[in-house]
Amino acid sequence: MEYSYRAIVLGKRDIADVDRLYTFYSLEGGLLCVSARGVRKVTAKLAAHLETFVEAHVLVARRRGSGTIISAVTENAYPVFRRDVLALGELFWVADQFLRMVSFDDVDERLFFLYRSFLSTVEDISARSGLSESRRGDLYRLISLSFLFHTLSLLGYDLSFLRCAVSGKSLSSCQSSCVFSPALGVVACGEYSGSFSDAIVVSDNTIKLLRLFANNSFSSLMRLHVDQHDLAQARRVYDTFFLWHFS
């Protein structure tokens, strides 16, 4: 049988002499690993439509196993960020994180459209000629973290940055810096840090940034100018949570 997918290419691996195994996240089937025969031959035309981070319409023949790609037509190649080393470095890191979080059972069209929006935003940043390298790097890191926190939310991880997990009070009423527990995925006022063996300190500004991730689109976040310390703390919140739950 033949199946048609609208898919984003997230990885590829050489197999046999001239074949490849591709990893997609698709609108219709979620995460897929599908082979393409002869795609590494010099005369093969299919490979150009299956570059990493290309969005394509992919036709797969499946009799047994994962199936074989018959054809692919590029929907969006995102040509600008392919010339941007900063963008590519961030994109490959995000793809690795995403593939370690998402399983083959996680079929959710919202994840597909979220990833598509993320790639479009990175393309938009890359196309802005007036941005300094430092500003572009900050925006890539900001948008990447927002994407990953949104992904966690869609996968069912309820990371709330509004209220203290111990007292139930608004975090804005805390008398000291807040703490985050990566094991539990909760935030509490600093005076309750002894309740968590894994607590890490996070500033008020970092909490505000994490709230912005949850409540704003990528395009809205692009207008932000974030302090490096706050961005680094937000990354640490993500990294420690990821290590606890996906390593």
Structure tokens at 13: 């691996």
Same domain for 240 and 199, yes or no, is yes
Give the C-alpha separation, 150 to 58, whole Å. 26
Give the least confident one: 59-68, 181-190, 224-233. 59-68
Residue where a domain stops, chosen among 60, 76, 92: 76
Residue 6 belongs to domain with CATH number: 2.40.50.140
Report yes or no on 169 lying in a domain: no
Report yes or no on 27 lying in a domain: yes
Report yes or no on 171 lying in a domain: no
Instruction: Give the number of domains in the chain.
Output: 2
Give the C-alpha separation, 182 to 164, whole Å. 14
What pLDDT shows up at residue 146?
97
Looking up tokens 């590494």 gives 40
**What 3-state class would DSSP assign to 7?**
strand
The tens digit of pLDDT for each residue in 188-240 reads 999 998 989 999 999 999 999 999 998 899 999 999 999 999 999 999 999 99
Residue where a domain stops, chosen among 56, 76, 96: 76
Rounded to two decimals, the pTM is 0.94
What pLDDT shows up at residue 66?
77
The DSSP output letter for 116 is H
Report yes or no on 184 lying in a domain: no
Same domain for 92 and 118, yes or no, is yes
- Tell me which of 124 and 105 has the higher pLDDT: 124
Give residue 234's domain range: 81-159+190-246
